[in-house]
Structure 1
Amino acid sequence: MNNQEFVPFLQKNWEDAGFQKPALIQAEVFAPITERKNLVGIAPTGSGKTLAYLLPLFNQLELGKPSQLLILTSSQELAMQVVEVARKWLTGSGMKAQPLIGGANVKRQQEALKKKPEVLIGTPGRVFELITAKKIKAPNIKTIVFDEVDQLVQGQSLQLVQKILKAADNHTQRLYFSATADVVLAELNQFETDLLIVDVSKEDDSQGDVQHFYLEVSERKKVDQLRRLLNLPVFWGMVFFNQLNDMGSAEEKLLFHHLPVASLASDQAKMSRKAAIEQFKKHQVLGLLTTDLASRGLDIEALPFVINADVPLSEESYLHRAGRVGRMGNTGVVITFVTPQEKADLTKIAKKLELTLAPIYLFGGELLTEEPVKQSEPKKKNKNKKGKRRK
C-alpha cells in the first residue's frame, strides 16, 4: 500500500491525520481488496482494522451511486463508531455514510436512504428489515464487510447474515474482519469458498506494552475492591462482568457510595448507551461497567485500565476485553479479579493466549506488584499484671 495510490480526498485526509505509514494489516489487505478478492482479515485488537477495509474501499467509491458499500457490525456501539470514522475519512468527497441500527427510528432511516448514501453501516437485524422492505436495493451492494465476524456468525445473527448474503448479488465482494476470525473459519467455509486469509496477528507489533495481573479476592469482596480502585487518583477504566445482574448490583452499590460510574448494557435504550460512552470518554465517569457487549471494537483513546470483575468465559472474551488497552502503541494494564476457585480457569486462559500473569495487590491506596508486608499491631499492655492489683 502506497498512499500515493489514493484519490485526492483520501490523500488529503491521510495527510491531515498525520499518518506516516500504514499499519501492517492495512498494508497487507490494500491490494487484494482493491482487486475485489473475498478475504478474511485477522489482526490484533487496536491494530487499525477499520481503516484496513475503509481506505481501499473508499478509494473506489463512486459519487452518487447508492448503497455501494455495506458494513455489518456486531453491536450498535461498534456501528456508530465505524460511522464516525467513515464520515471523517469521507470528508471532501461529497459522499455520505448512513447508520442503520436497531433501537433507532426506522422511518427516519428510510427517509435518509432516499438521499442515496453511498455507504451503509448497521446491525444485521435492521439492515435485513430494510432489505425486506425494499428500502435497500441489495443488488446495488458491491461490497459487504463483516466487522467482528466471529460475533456475526453466532446464533440468530448467523441466519440474518446468510439471508443478507442471499439477497445480495452473487458477485458482491465479501470481507470478514476480526482479531479472532480464525476461530470461525470452519463456519465461514460452510457458505464461502476460495477465501483469501490474511493473518498478521503473529507479526503485528502495533500493540503497546500491556501488563496482565490477577488480584485474589473473595466473591463478596469484589465490589469493595472496585471501590478502592475507583478511589485511586490514577484510575480510569472499563470494568467487565459476565452477567448483567452482577453488573447492575455492583453499579447500584458504587453509586450509593457516590463513585463516578456508568453502565453499558444490552437492555438499555440506545440514548442511555450513547450517553454512558460519551460521559466515559470525557472522564465525567471513571468506571464504565459493562459485559462483553463493549469488548468489541469500542475504541477509547489511551485507556489505561481494563478490569475483569469476573474471569472471562473464554480466551476470545479475554482477548477482546484486554484489547481495549494498548491500542495503536499505547500502554495499559489488565487486572482480573480471581477467587481461589477460579484461579485454575484464569491460568488456563493465560497459557492458551501465551500471556504472563503476575499477582497485584491493593494496599494503602496504591497498586503494588509485590506483596505488601503488613505490620503486626503492637500488643496491648496488660494493665493487670500478676502481683499488681488495680485500686
Structure 2
Amino acid sequence: MKLKNTKFDSYKLNENILKDIAAMGFQNPTSIQAQCIPVALTGKDIIGLAQTGTGKTAAFALPIIQKVAQKMDMAALILAPTRELAEQISQMLCKLGKSSGARVALLVGGIPIKEDVKALGSWPNILVATPGRLIDHIYSRSVDLSKIEILTIDEADHMHEMGFLPQIQQILEVVPRERQTMMFTATMPKKIEQMIRRNMRSPQRIEIGRTMTATRAEQKLFRVSEQDKLLLLMDILSKKSQRVLIFARTKRKVDQLARRISALNNNVARLHGDYEQAQRKIAMEGFRSGKFNILVATDIAARGIDVANIEHVINYDFPSSAEDYIHRIGRTARAASSGLATSFVTHGDLSCLKHLEKLVSSKFKLIKVGDETPQARSSEHSRKYNKRGPKRKSRY
C-alpha cells in the first residue's frame, strides 16, 4: 500500500524507505532534499553547498539506501571529518534503511580495532568512516573498496581545514573510477575546487541554505572588550536555564570557561580535541539527554553535533569566517525551528563581521557593552560570583 502521509513518495523511493521516513516523523522534504534526491537517484555527480541544519544527511542517505540496500557487497562509502558526524550519519542510515536491508559499518578513531574487524565482518553494504581510520584499514588491507558505486564526502571544507585532503586523495585513488560522487560543503576553497575538477564528472551544483539559518535564528551581537567577555557570559547564563552551546576558540579557553561556569552551574560539559572517545561520548550523551544543559566546545570538536532543541548558541569567540558563523548558529536553527544566537564581537572581529553582513545582505545591530546596562549587570553578577565561586568545586 502506498503511503500518502508524506511527499517523499514523489521521488519513487521504495515502500520500505517511505515507511521508515514516516516512522521518523519526516513529512515534507527540506529544500536540499527536494533538489538533491531526484538528481542523486539518476546517478549524476553532485556538489551540494549547504549549511548544517538543512537536512543534507537525509538528502544523500535516501538515494544511497535506495540504490545499495539490497546489495551483498560494500557499495557505498561516506566520508566525514569527525567521529561525531560519522556516528550521526551512521545512525541516520540505520533508521532510514531499517526496513530496506541497509547494513551499515562505522570506522572511526578512538574505537578498538577489534570493533572495526567485527563491523567489517558483518557484510555491510554501506561504510561510514573518517579518513584517517579508513587509511589505516587500506594500508593493512582489511577493507575492500573495489565494489564501491557511490562515494559521498560530507563537509569537504572542514576536511580541508583539518588537513584531510591528502588522505581523501589517497582514498579516491583506491575506489573505482566508474562511480557516482557526491560532495557536500558549506564553502568552496580553491583546493576543494581542484579536487572536484580532478575527481568528479560534470557534477550538478545544488546550493541551498547559505543564509537560511542566519535568517531563522534570532541574533544578538554584543560589541565587547576581551576582558569583559567573561562577565557578560556569566550575566547571560544567570538568566537562562535552557540548553546552551558555547563556542570558544582554543582547548585551553574551553577548559577555563567550563571551570568558571561550573562554579555557578554544575550541569556543564566540555568538548575539545584532547578528549578521548569515551569522554566525548559522555559529554555528548549527557548534553543530548539533558544531564548537562551547557556544553562548551571548540568549533572543530563540535562538528557533527546533532542535538535537538538547542535553544541558545553563544559565540564566546567570534568565528574566523562568515561561513563558520552561519554554520554555528545553524545548531540552534535546525530544519524548520528557530533559536537564539548570541555573539561577542571585539575590535579584532569587525572585519569578519563586515564579511558576514555582505554574505547575508543584512546589517547587524551591535549592542555596546561598556558603561551600559549589560556591563553593569555583569559587574554586579561578577561580585556575587567572586564572593561564592571558590567555595564550590567543579564536578566535570
Q: TM-score range by the shorter chain?
A: 0.7 to 0.9
Partner of 1:227: 234
1:357-376 pair list within 5 angstroms: 357-360=364-367
Structure 1: distance between partners of 2:326 and 2:183: 18
| Partner SS state of residue 152, structure 2 | strand
Deviation at 1:168, TM superposition (A): 0.7
How much does 1:130 deviate? 1.2
Contact kept? 1:23, 1:47, Cα under 8 Å: yes
Is 1:245 the equivalent of 2:268? no
Deviations 1:95-152 (A, max 9, x none): 3211100111112211221111111111001112112222211112111110101122
Q: Deviations over 1:52-92 (max 9, x none)?
A: 00111101124351321111001001011111111111212
Name the residue aligned to 2:18: 11
CA deviation after TM superposition for structure 1 residue 371, in Å: 6.2
Distance 1:239 1:191 in 2: 38
Q: Which of 340, 353, 359 is equivalent to 1:346?
A: 353
Deviation at 1:19, TM superposition (A): 3.0
- Name the counterpart of 2:300: 293
Q: In the alignment, which residue of structure 2 is the partner of 1:43?
A: 50
- The count of corresponding residues between Structure 1 and Structure 2 is 369
Maintained 8 Å contact 2:244/2:295: yes
Query: What aligned pairs does 1:197-208 form with structure 2 within 5 A after superposition?
Result: 197-201=204-208
Is 1:97 equivalent to 2:104 in the alignment? Answer: yes
Listed as ranges, the matches of 1:190-339 within 5 Å are 190-201=197-208, 209-339=216-346
Matching residue's letter, 1:3: D
Which of 50, 60, 82 is the aligned partner of 1:75?
82
Bigger drift between 53-62 and 224-233 goes to 224-233
1:145 alignment partner, one of 129, 143, 152: 152
2:390 paired residue number: none
- Residues 244 and 312, structure 2, Cα contact 8 Å, conserved in 1: yes
Q: Give, in whole Å, the separation in 1 of the partners of 2:69 and 2:91.
A: 20
Aligned counterpart, 1:109: 116
Does the residue aligned with 1:156 lie in a helix, a strand or coil? coil
Q: 1:58 is matched with which residue?
A: 65
State yes or no: 1:171 paired with 2:153. Answer: no
The alignment yields a C-alpha RMSD, in angstroms, of 2.8
- Relative to structure 1, the CA distance from residue 2 to residue 286 in structure 2 (aligned partners, 3 Å threshold; closer, same or farther) is closer
Q: How far apart in 1 are the matches of 2:130 and 2:280? A: 16
2:142 counterpart residue number = 135
Q: Secondary structure at the match of 2:193?
A: helix
| Alpha-carbon shift at residue 179 of structure 1 (Å) | 2.8
Return closer, same or farther for 1:138/1:55 CA change in 2, 3 Å cut-off.
same
Q: What SS does the corresponding residue of 1:328 show, helix, strand or coil?
A: coil
Unaligned runs of 5+ in 1: 364-369, 376-391
1:197 positional shift: 3.1
Say which is worse superposed, 157-166 or 89-98, in terms of deviation. 89-98
- For residues 16 and 107 of structure 1, the distance between their equivalents in structure 2, rounded to whole angstroms, comes to 33
How far apart, CA to CA, are the structure 1 residues paired with 2:162 and 2:308? 31
Q: Please, which moves more after superposition, 319-328 or 332-341?
A: 332-341
Deviations 1:230-250 (A, max 9, x none): 222344211111111111121
What SS does the corresponding residue of 1:153 show, helix, strand or coil? Answer: helix
**Alignment-derived partner of residue 125 in structure 1:** 132
Q: Kindly, what percent of the aligned residue pairs are identical?
A: 27
The Cα shift of 1:374 comes to 8.0
Q: Secondary structure at the match of 1:174?
A: strand
Tell me the amino acid that sits aligned with residue 284 of structure 1.
K
Counterpart of 2:165, as a letter, is L
Per the alignment, do residues 189 and 7 of structure 1 end up closer, same or farther by CA in structure 2, a change over 3 Å counting? closer
Max radius of gyration: which structure? Answer: 1
Q: Distance in 2 between matches of 1:72 and 1:203?
A: 22
Structure 1 contact 296–320 (Cα < 8 Å) conserved: no
Tell me if structure 2 keeps the 8 A contact 1:239–1:306. yes
**CA distance in 1: counterparts of 2:311 and 2:191, whole angstroms:** 30
What stretches of structure 2 of length at least 5 have no aligned partner? 1-6, 378-396
TM-score normalised by length of structure 2: 0.84
Classify 1:362/1:12 alpha carbon distance in 2 versus 1 (closer, same or farther; 3 Å).
farther
The code of the aligned residue for 1:286 comes to: N
1:200 is displaced (CA, Å) by 3.3
How many Å separate the matches in 2 of 1:371 and 1:217? 13
- Contact residue 148 and residue 296 of structure 1 kept, 8 A: no
Structure 2 vs 1, CA of residues 193 and 69 (structure 1 numbering), >3 Å: closer, same or farther? closer
Moved more, 170-179 or 75-84: 170-179
Partners of 1:149 and 1:177 within 8 A in 2: yes
Indicate the larger mover: 209-218 or 271-280: 209-218
